[in-house]
Amino acid sequence: MAAGPDAFVPDGYSAGDRPGLGARLVAAKLLSAIVDARTSADGLLDAKGGHPGFRALERRDQGLVKAIILTALRFRGTIDRALDACLDRPLPPNASALKHILHVGAAQILFLDVPDSAAVDLAVAAAGVDSRSQRFSGMINAVLRRLSREKETLRSVAAPGENMPEWLRRRLVAPYGAARADAIALAHLSPASLDLSVKGDPAAWAERLGGVALASGTVRLGSFDGPVTDLPGFATGDWWVQDAAAALPAKLFGDLSGKRVADLCAAPGGKTAQLILAGGKVTALDINANRMKRLKENLARLSLEAETVVTDLAAYEPDAPFDAILLDAPCSSTGTIRRHPDVGYTKDAAEIDKLAAVQARLLGEAARLLAPGGRLVFSNCSLDRAEGEDVIAAFLAERTDFVRDPVSAEELPGFAFALTSEGDLRTTPEMPGAGEGPEGGLDGFYAARLKRL
């Protein structure tokens, strides 16, 4: 039997006794798993494979837990400051369970459309069933009530960088400067738009779905908060979800008609679909069998075909070299924080250095599979130079049989602003995307195109 919200409740008490309590207990528990145990939120907040407590909640409560957690992470700095302003004395050290209960309450009071009284009462009730927090019930009540009274002043973001974990801010200030790091931090506070890559006719799909067609062909629907599977064109396989920036690296190959193409870190297959539609005879490779299963399902829905191989790239020995290779390498994903605000709390600088070494190794493996004269695009969704520009600089310094093949503005209509002086692609979340207002924003991406001499 799956553990329900009662799994977090002591004997003799049922979370079901109090509507909404189960959702708050699960939210506090999962916030702890993310912040203290550095577990990825995606894995926990999955209706099928997620945390048992989350899976056991009603669909509506699952939506609430998701909203609470994403908001609590997005505004973690602001919430910390607001709570500090309402506390008479600092929280006791090691009172992590108490802190999560307060953050769950504060996220609702400051940023979500939940009656303040319910948020306060349920935080007090959540403390009542947690042996470590019981004795703080009175304090929680007083602090959250004060927060509710003063929320108009306390919820504004005091400094652009206050919601960005310090380690990440340091990593971004160095390459981008303080002003751009601040702009990135502010962009992280708004959820990303829903972007679709379409098999054909972006203008018609934009009109049909009520979105806009970007110059790159992406259809942007702005904020969307429902199951994408219900949208026209999903069941018929006319489009797939893909951020506008994530769709750019595969475009750097242009027409692939008649070419042997390898997508070497392929799953779940957004870029594989693009390579097939560009005319390539595509081999999609990935080390992860579960993710490859998703790639196959995605291609089947889109009625697209590729050869699929599940293996470690290091062990792959194809019959012949490839004319074009995409290496969309695993990375820290700091470019996707608008969608995944947990990344700032589950990753750190040491992990970035580790991933940079993995990327360098995978790039070496990809290079041995490319035919002379062939092109290789290296990409990933990190904002960090160590995982992007530095990997390519080190590779080119060592491999004199490869040169950079700079991308020109004409190749990426509407995205000239994202090209570096060396001809690489570099997007960051504060960039315009659709050009203006809330429709703006892009995931952070890096891509470099190389040519084998």
Ligand X SMILES: C[S@@+](CC[C@H](N)C(=O)[O-])C[C@H]1O[C@@H](n2cnc3c(N)ncnc32)[C@H](O)[C@@H]1O
What number of other Cβ atoms are within 10 A of residue 350's Cβ? Answer: 9
**Minimum distance of ligand X from residue 241's CB (angstroms):** 10
Whose CA is closest to 68, among 31, 115, 123, 121?
A: 31
Residues 31, 444, 255, 205: what is their CA dihedral angle, to the nearest 10 degrees?
70
Indicate the residue among 144 and 265 with the shorter CB distance to ligand X: 265
Ligand-binding annotation for 312, yes or no, is: yes
265 labelled binding-site residue: yes
Of 329 and 418, which has the nearer Cβ to ligand X? 329
Does 43 belong to an annotated binding site? no
Q: What is the 3-state secondary structure (H, E, C) of the chain?
A: CCCCHHHHCCCCCCHHHCCCHHHHHHHHHHHHHHHCCCCCHHHHCCCCCCCHHHHCCCHHHHHHHHHHHHHHHHCHHHHHHHHHHHCCCCCCCCCHHHHHHHHHHHHHHHHCCCCHHHHHHHHHHHHHCCCCCHHHHHHHHHHHHHHHHCHHHHCCCCCHHHHCCHHHHHHHHHHHCHHHHHHHHHHCCCCCCCEEEECCCHHHHHHHHCCEECCCCCEECCCCCCCHHHCCCCCCCCEEECCCCCCHHHHCCCCCCCCEEEECCCCCCHHHHHHHHCCCEEEEEECCHHHHHHHHHHHHHCCCCCEEEECCHHHCCCCCCEEEEEEECCCCCHHHCCCCCCHHHHCCHHHHHHHHHHHHHHHHHHHCCEEEEEEEEEEECCCCHHHCHHHHHHHHHHCCCEEECCCCHHHCCCCHHHECCCCCEEECCCCCCCCCHHHCCCCCEEEEEEEEC
Active site residues: 381
Interface residues with ligand X (CB under 6 A)? Answer: 265-271, 285-288, 291, 312-313, 328, 330, 362
Q: Does 270 carry a binding-site annotation?
A: yes
Closest approach, Cβ 284 to ligand X, in A, equals: 9
Structure-token pair, residue 32: 């702890």
Q: How far is the CB of 162 from ligand X (least distance, A)?
A: 29
CB of 76 or CB of 260, closer to ligand X? 260
| Residue whose CB is less far from ligand X, 150 or 305 | 305
**CB closer to ligand X out of 328 and 384:** 328
Min dist CB 147 to ligand X, Å, is 39
Is 267 marked as a binding-site residue?
yes
Residue 424 marked in a binding site? no
According to the annotation, is 286 in a ligand binding site? yes
Shortest Cβ distance from residue 289 to ligand X (Å)? 9
Q: Which residues contact 451 (CB under 8 A, 6 or more apart)?
A: 373, 374, 375, 376, 402, 403, 404, 405
Phi, psi (deg, nearest 5) at residue 14: -120, 130
Closest approach of ligand X to the CB of residue 285, in Å: 6
Q: Which residues contact residue 141 at a Cβ distance below 8 angstroms, ignoring those fewer than 6 apart?
A: 120, 123, 124
Return the bridge partners of 413, or none.
Answer: none
As measured in angstroms, the least distance from the Cβ of 365 to ligand X is 8
The smaller minimum CB distance to ligand X, of residues 13 and 316, is found at: 316
Closest distance between ligand X and the C-beta of residue 444, in Å? 13
67 is in an annotated binding site: no
Nearest residue to ligand X on Cβ basis? 265
Residues making up the annotated binding site for S-adenosyl-L-methionine are 265-271, 286, 312, 328
